[in-house]
Amino acid sequence: MNMLAKWGLAALVCAAALPARAEWVKRITDGIMGTRITVELWAEDRAQGEKAIDAVLDEMRHIDETMSTYKPTSEVSQVNAHAAEGPMHISKELFDLLVTAKHYSEITDGAFDITYASVGYMYDFRKHVHPDEAQIAKALPAINYRHVLLDPAHQTVQFSQKGVRIDLGGIAKGYSVDCGIEVLQKLGYTRAFVGAGGDSRIIGDRFGKPWIVGIRDPRKGEGNVIARIPLENAAISTSGDYERFFDEGGVRYHHIIDPHTGHSASKVRSATVIGPYATRTDGLSKTAFVLGPDAAMEIYNRLDDIDAIIVKLDGSIAYSKDIQRALRAPPAADAPAAPPAQ
Ligand code: ADP
Ligand code: MG
């Protein structure tokens, strides 16, 4: 068979295998968890695909209702109001996420700490409000993930002292992305992208091509990227000091708080973490801001399933060891050309 006939036949076989109306379905929604949600999937039928996206967004709304500290009725707000009084029974979902959050505190030497909110609640980045030194000094002892006592036998949480507050803003978006992907997988989808703000996860590829996720240049406007990362079956989270911030008196106040000082953590400009789950990459992406590029990279390099790209304060870029190796390696003779940026 000559080549033309062979490829012609292959094209026919592909066309026969794909139902006529199969297509990419994409939706961008603002307002859930205070961020932009993007869902894109390959659907055999557009109406079914739209329904699947509705299901993802419903799941994310439910997580927002449970976890948001902006909603006084949320379960987390109830915990903040009462957990210092004694053990509080909470939902299995919240309990499990608190266990997960504690795990990230432990593996990041306390850089990730949901009790940052004991001081963090006094910042309002939209209104340019920050606590003064006296307020920080008074509230600082309440920051320590060890103050959150979890009892798996009774599924309760208790704060060991007054003044402790938690906020899951550093992990809830990644978690909601994983839940969204799970919704799609249960419905049988095998090619999809779910993103919530800086946290995204991808299943499958784009028919022989990877998905391309851009990492924004932290000192330039949206759309200016320092790298385009080809990904399949992976999650990626970027934390940046440009997300929610204001500058005052030469100081940049932004939304990642150093649990040791109660001040904005300013040891890098941005950190991108790549791994298998968005809960995991979200739980790790704040670390570099608190510990600095070297100590954070040591932690990232110790974790076999994690890659990282850090933009340092001087604008230079540090890569985790597997990415460094990939950048050094000459392309294999049969490697496909780099995919075009999307
Ligand atoms: P995004 O909210 O866009 O996903 P990040 O993943 O960088 O951005 O998370 C920033 C959020 O993490 C903050 O808005 C705050 O809610 C929370 N946070 C801030 N400092 C810490 C910290 N030291 N540990 C855990 N969470 C934190
Ligand atoms: Mg995040």
Tokens representing residue 82 in the block: 């009462």
Contact of 192 with 181, CB cutoff 8 Å: yes
Q: Rounded to an integer, what distance in angstroms lies between the CA atom of residue 245 and that of residue 131?
A: 14
How far is the centre of ligand 1, averaged over its atoms, from the C-alpha of 71 (Å)? 17
- Angle formed by the axes of helices 92-107 and 278-285, to 10°? 50
Q: Rounded to an integer, what distance in angstroms lies between the CA atom of residue 153 and that of residue 60?
A: 28
Contact of 164 with 115, CB cutoff 8 Å: yes
Ligand 1, closest atom to CA 113? 24
How far is the centre of ligand 1, averaged over its atoms, from the C-alpha of 335 (Å)? 38
User: In the chain, what are the domain boundaries?
Assistant: 26-64+170-328, 70-159
- For 70-159, CATH number? 1.10.3980.10
Transcribe 139-203 into DSSP letters. HGGG--GGGEEEETTTTEEEESSTT-----TTTHHHHHHHHHHHHHHHTT--SEEEEETTEEEEE
Ligand 1, closest atom to CA 197? 3
pLDDT in tens, 125-174: 999 999 999 999 999 999 999 999 999 999 999 999 999 999 999 999 99
Q: Rounded to an integer, what distance in angstroms lies between the CA atom of residue 160 and that of residue 62?
A: 28
pLDDT in tens, 260-292: 999 999 999 999 999 999 999 999 999 999 999
Mean pLDDT in each 10-residue stretch from start to end of the chain (342 residues)? 38 48 95 95 96 98 96 97 98 98 98 98 95 98 98 98 98 98 98 96 96 91 88 96 87 94 95 98 98 98 97 96 85 47 36
How far is the centre of ligand 2, averaged over its atoms, from the C-alpha of 63 (Å)? 14
- Using a cut of 0.85, tell me whether the model's pTM lies above it: yes
Contact of 191 with 205, CB cutoff 8 Å: yes
Please tell me the predicted confidence (pLDDT) of residue 249: 87
How far is the centre of ligand 1, averaged over its atoms, from the C-alpha of 260 (Å)? 15
CA dihedral over 171, 260, 243, 268, signed as positive or negative:
negative
Q: Rounded to an integer, what distance in angstroms lies between the CA atom of residue 247 and that of residue 239?
A: 18
Q: Whose CA is nearest to atom 10 of ligand 1?
A: 170
Mutate-to-test residue for ligand 1 from 116, 238, 264, highest number of ligand atoms within 8 A of CB = 116
Tokens 């659907």 sit at which residue?
Answer: 43
Around ligand 1, the residues with Cβ closer than 6 Å are 112-114, 116, 167, 169-170, 173, 197-199, 237, 239, 243, 255-257, 259, 282, 285-286, 290
Report which bound ligand comes closest to the CA of 240. Answer: 1
Please tell me the predicted confidence (pLDDT) of residue 14: 46
How far is the centre of ligand 2, averaged over its atoms, from the C-alpha of 112 (Å)? 12
Nearest to 110 by CA among 297, 233, 246, 290: 290
How far is the centre of ligand 1, averaged over its atoms, from the C-alpha of 85 (Å)? 26
Ligand 1, closest atom to CA 112? 24
How far is the centre of ligand 1, averaged over its atoms, from the C-alpha of 256 (Å)? 5
Contact of 229 with 235, CB cutoff 8 Å: no
Mutate-to-test residue for ligand 1 from 256, 258, 277, highest number of ligand atoms within 8 A of CB = 256
Report which bound ligand comes closest to the CA of 117. Answer: 1
Our measurement of the distance from residue 45's CA atom to the centroid of its chain's CA atoms, rounded to an integer in Å, reads 29
| Domain 26-64+170-328 CATH (choose: 3.40.50.360, 3.90.470.20, 3.40.50.720, 3.10.520.10) | 3.10.520.10
Give the type of residue at 55: A
Mutate-to-test residue for ligand 1 from 286, 287, 291, highest number of ligand atoms within 8 A of CB = 286
Q: Whose CA is nearest to atom 5 of ligand 1?
A: 239
Q: Whose CA is nearest to atom 27 of ligand 1?
A: 170
Contact of 310 with 323, CB cutoff 8 Å: no
Going by their DSSP bridges, the two strands 268-275 and 307-312 should be labelled as antiparallel
